[in-house]
Structure 1
Amino acid sequence: MANIGFIGLGVMGYPMAGHLQRAGHNVTVYNRTASKARQWVAEHAGSAADTPALAAVDQDYVMLCVGNDDDLRSVVTGEDGVLTGAKNGLVLVDHTTASADVARELAALAAKQGVGFLDAPVSGGQSGAEKGQLTIMVGGDEAVFDLLRPVMKCYARMLQLMGPVGSGQLTKMVNQICIAGLVQGLAEALNFAQNAGLNGEAVVEVISKGAAQSWQMENRHKTMLAGEFDYGFAVDWMRKDLAIVLAEAQRNGAQLPVTALVDQFYSDVQAMGGGRWDTSSLIARLKR
């Protein structure tokens, strides 16, 4: 069993750290809001640290699951950051959805201290994190990946090395491109069905057994038809991710006309006060 620091106890990190502790690892958590860390310790045992640096002391691995590039830089390279407390041989595993550039930047800084690095963003949402059924796309060295594979399996159903550092984040961008288009298509389809006087649930029961089937259709159609949007990844977070995607596309020359359009549709949802609604709320802007 390993000694593990876990930094970031949001809706994803909180259950992920819990799976590690239940698997028998010795987990020390850090969260910017200290009361959340105390709550986690009360529920799972383990221990809490006052700074990211202290969460990294004497650890084998440190897992990171924070908000964005700036948050990531702060907890890794800040005055009380992970690298301040890191020992030679430590491995950082970043589960944040961030840019490929920041992954490469932090990997290079970590390497100067003899610290390994994997960028390992996740997909599956809060439900996947709670059930230990996340998909993890990883960038980094194969030997380091093999070392961490059994640890990450504590909360993963699918775990794949995609290439060198940055490849995990690039793969997550592909994931978000697919989701954006799928959810917009589903929103339009369900709104069309309702305007046509059809029973939306009956429609989905039929078409979900054919080529139109998707995870979004199976898991979100009922709440979309009901106008309920409290069941998943928030619009604010999706726009953060799509900003990373669109910036990367500008650099690599990929054309993303649908993704750019859906990003603007999410901006409309934010203007409606739906920044914390889940991503299926695209249907709400069609009903204004």
Structure 2
Amino acid sequence: MTMRVGFVGAGRMGRPMVERLVGAGHEVRALGRTAEARAALAGIGARPAATLAAAVADAEAVIVCVFTDAQVREIAPGLPPRVPVVVHTTGSPSTVEELAGRGLPVIDAPVSGGPHDIAAGRLTVFLGGPGELADRVEPLIACYADPVLRVGPLGSGQRVKLVNNALFAAQIGLLAEAVRLGERLGVTEEVLLRALPHASSASRALTGVAARGSVAAFAATAGPFVGKDVRIAREVAAETGGGLGALDPLLGEG
């Protein structure tokens, strides 16, 4: 069944989502703040909108893929009541809980992967929220994601994603230490990154670093995204009266 979808945040991650939704036959009204952005959205078959109100008008579901909690809170007052809202933004669980407290039927659905995964339909999504609401929005998310993992009540998706990114960032920290060890032993980073992905120390973090050619190059690309999530993970962990334990020393400043 096709749906009318309002889309907010059609950037690096959101635009390929829009393209997949359009390709599946859905009518997507996507917010574009500039004429250039709106032209690009029209080029992939979406109906570009210059305002939030126009993007969500008559929507049967709204998908939000902005960068920060602050941006989610900024647009929240303009979201239509009684229309399911999918929040892909990684942030504090309290943000989606706050939206639900305002009466919005919201699902938190942070993602793991990049634009290439979205284009291939293999993005990983951690879905948190009521089962009936998840049933309504999962067919949309499945246009660009596989697997879509239901991980518990509202906010659970954010909690799983924050643990994931804390662990991922710690693995990058371990790789940086391993590179320094290699250099002391007379082995270059280039050699290590060519050899280790084929050995028992292989991981997705190592694969990503090897593809970029160095820990520094990978950190320059992923740092703004992972760093934001690490800061949130620390804040959420502190709310429980604890920290990130053995992960913390490996995470840098975040």
TM-score, length basis structure 1: 0.80
**Contact 1:201/1:222 (8 A) holds in 2:** no
**Distance change >3 Å, CA 56–CA 44, structure 1 → 2:** same
Counterpart of 2:153?
164
Q: Which residue of 2 aligns with 1:276?
A: none
Q: For 1:33 and 1:260, how far apart are their aligned partners in 2?
A: 40
Query: Displacement of 1:94 after TM fit?
Result: 0.5
The 5 A counterparts of 1:6-21 are 6-21=7-22
Can you list the C-alpha shifts for 1:157-193, whole angstroms capped at 9, x where unaligned? Answer: 2111111111111111111111111111112212322
Indicate if the aligned counterparts of 1:137 and 1:172 stay in contact, CA closer than 8 A.
yes
The alpha carbon displacement at 1:39 in A equals 1.5
Corresponding residue of 2:92 = 99
Question: 1:95 touches 1:119 (CA, 8 Å); kept in 2?
Answer: yes
Question: Compared with structure 1, are the counterparts of its residues 262 and 143 closer, same or farther at alpha carbon in structure 2 (3 Å cutoff)?
Answer: same
State yes or no: 1:211 paired with 2:212. Answer: no
Does structure 2 conserve the Cα–Cα contact (< 8 Å) formed by 1:141 and 1:164?
yes
For 2:115, which of 119, 126, 146 is the aligned residue? 126
Change (3 A) 1:33 1:229: farther
Deviation at 1:87, TM superposition (A): 5.4
Residue 214 of structure 2 is aligned to residue 221 of structure 1: no
CA contact (8 A) 2:171 2:205 kept: yes
For 2:107 and 2:117, locate their aligned partners in 1 and report how far apart those are by CA, in whole Å.
21
Unaligned stretches of 5+ residues in structure 1? 267-288
Q: Give 1:221 shift.
A: 1.8
Matched, 1:61 2:71: no
Does the CA contact (< 8 Å) of 1:125 and 1:232 recur in 2? no
1:137 aligns with 2:113: no
CA distance in 1, matches of 2:3, 2:12: 23
SS of the residue corresponding to residue 62 of structure 1 reads: strand
d(CA) in 2 for partners of 1:264, 1:205 = 25
Instruction: Quote the Cα distance in structure 2 between the aligned partners of 1:239 and 1:231.
Output: 11
Distance 1:132 1:72, change over 3 A: same
Aligned: 1:253 with 2:246 = no
Deviation per CA, 1:241-283: give whole Å up to 9, x if none.
11211111011134314544344355xxxxxxxxxxxxxxxxx
Q: How many residues align?
A: 253
Q: Give yes or no for contact 1:123–1:135 (8 Å, CA) kept in 2.
A: yes
Instruction: State the 1:22 CA deviation.
Output: 1.0
Aligned to 2:51: 51
Secondary structure of 2:126 counterpart: strand
2:103 matched residue in structure 1: 110
Contact persistence 1:137–1:168 (CA under 8 A): yes
Where does residue 142 of structure 2 map in the other structure?
Answer: 153
Deviation at 1:32, TM superposition (A): 3.7
- The DSSP-based 3-state class of the residue aligned with 1:250 is helix
1:14-71 CA distances to partner (integer Å, 9 max, x unpaired)?
1111111111110000134453233121x21221122222211111110001121111
SS in structure 2 of the partner of residue 198 of structure 1: coil
Deviates more, 1:128-137 or 1:161-170: 128-137
| Percent of residue pairs identical | 30
